[in-house]
Structure 1
């Protein structure tokens, strides 16, 4: 059942990385751990890749075998406790893909996000009417309840921009995102007005990549880079696509997307000129 899925969170990923490092430091293979603890090798793999949360007795058996310090034991137990807490996606998980639900959890705890979007207004900046129109078009024949849940999830996500320590958001959008009339002129005009309001936030930078910039490295598709306040949480990339969404980790891949984003923002209009272009697009819909 959808409600029984283990959806990835920041704390679960951190716990998985810690347990992997502890096993490596103990110089034990998964097969050796399985032989000494009775924990199935497949279960160990799923725990170390954050695909499953360990039960407390399983965690204790692993920590006993690895000969950890008291501080490491305390940290691991606390991470397990925190990993059991529901992420921001919990109310909507039945209507979301596992990857998208995990992304929402990561986004809610990120320090900053660098986002490139090809065709749509980014979810964090969408109005509810625009979001419904996008979902209705991109997910034909979806049930009304699922559409409502997905739209509500997008609206609730926007809270990260106004919380006490708000997400630092840097967006580069292809000009097509503000020119394509989604949901009709009235809905699109409201969406563009919302964008102009968001540009006034100190924690939001918005740039438009104009058509006359020509070919660019973001033409392959949309993506988001997330950075986290704790050094123990490595950066990750969320990639959107028709075939499915994907969360990517690894220094080389993160660096590649970082370089692409730097190129895109260098090719895009300045935030001031971008706001002027958005205002012009909105005026044409009046």
Structure 2
């Protein structure tokens, strides 16, 4: 784990502060009263929706009766949580907290029904996808988004990359994004990545018909040593959702199990992708 990943530090700190409050037998309202702040502020801190300043951490530790050694560690964590990740240089993109979580995950399971996942996209394909989703986007912002997307893919070349399990609906292979040359290069890239030891790609063919994942797309991020709760990320027009309750995770893991069983095996999936690539040959 990178020692100062701000997103992870914020979530670790949030989890620990929630545990300490409950251990002290205090409700959200009681903790807020003692800190002389709103209940909403305590709630946002404990759900990692906002950064917490070191002074508030110090005061909360005093309220919860925490020994000085742990208090110092939590205050240090609060300082690290306020540092900037590389993605925060892209002010327009609103990429936090997802990228911070993605960069530290030990396993990433991606299920897509419309496009090739971001971690597998070529530059040209990414540009076409972003432009298609945001037709009014300014050119300089478009290029920033493409650049950030490509930077995320550096995790494939890390010494210990996360296990990536990609589940694609067959419709992804048929959707013409950017024309034949773009699609040919994109499917070539998918095939190339499928050869990496940490990447598994499966395609759910049209012949499956209606299935359990018909109406959703999501990403499951899993972390080593319980550093933070495993998280399901769901992106929609109504906003981004981060789900980490045990019942929610159980439901999505059940869906993943069904999708893996319905999909072609990895070898047959790559063969299908290769056949589709030939259809896009110049």
Unaligned segments of structure 2, at least 5 residues:
1-5
CA distance in 1, matches of 2:21, 2:177: 51
SS in 1 for 2:239: coil
| From 69, 76, 92, the counterpart of 1:95 | 92
User: 2:15 is matched with which residue?
Assistant: 17
| From 171, 186, 190, the counterpart of 1:191 | 186
Task: Check conservation: 2:167, 2:202, Cα contact below 8 A.
Answer: yes
CA distance in 2, matches of 1:35, 1:218: 45
SS in 2 for 1:245: strand
Task: Check conservation: 1:208, 1:269, Cα contact below 8 A.
Answer: yes
Instruction: Find out whether 1:73 has 2:42 as its counterpart.
Output: no
After TM superposition, give the deviation of residue 234 of structure 1 in Å: 0.8
CA distance in 2, matches of 1:159, 1:260: 28
User: 1:177 is matched with which residue?
Assistant: 172
Instruction: Find out whether 1:114 has 2:109 as its counterpart.
Output: yes
CA distance in 2, matches of 1:57, 1:276: 57
| From 162, 165, 168, the counterpart of 2:160 | 165
After TM superposition, give the deviation of residue 278 of structure 1 in Å: 0.8
Instruction: Find out whether 1:257 has 2:257 as its counterpart.
Output: no
User: 2:31 is matched with which residue?
Assistant: 33
Unaligned segments of structure 1, at least 5 residues:
1-7
TM-score for both structures, normalised by structure 2: 0.93
After TM superposition, give the deviation of residue 34 of structure 1 in Å: 3.5
SS in 1 for 2:165: strand
Deviations 1:50-102 (A, max 9, x none): 1222222211111111111234223312321321222242122x2224xx431
Given the superposition, is the C-alpha separation of residues 35 and 275 from structure 1 closer, same or farther in structure 2, using an over 3 Å criterion?
closer
SS in 2 for 1:101: coil
Deviations 1:117-144 (A, max 9, x none): 0010000000010000011111111111
Q: Pairwise mapping of residues 133-144 of structure 1 onto structure 2 (< 5 A)?
A: 133-144=128-139
After TM superposition, give the deviation of residue 230 of structure 1 in Å: 3.0
| From 56, 59, 66, the counterpart of 1:58 | 56
Q: Pairwise mapping of residues 173-252 of structure 1 onto structure 2 (< 5 A)?
A: 173-252=168-247
After TM superposition, give the deviation of residue 180 of structure 1 in Å: 1.1
User: 1:277 is matched with which residue?
Assistant: 272
CA distance in 2, matches of 1:267, 1:155: 30
User: 1:4 is matched with which residue?
Assistant: none
User: 1:5 is matched with which residue?
Assistant: none
Aligned length: 277
User: 1:3 is matched with which residue?
Assistant: none
Deviations 1:153-184 (A, max 9, x none): 11011011211210110001001111111101
CA distance in 2, matches of 1:166, 1:246: 25
After TM superposition, give the deviation of residue 16 of structure 1 in Å: 0.9
CA distance in 2, matches of 1:151, 1:223: 21
TM-score for both structures, normalised by structure 1: 0.92
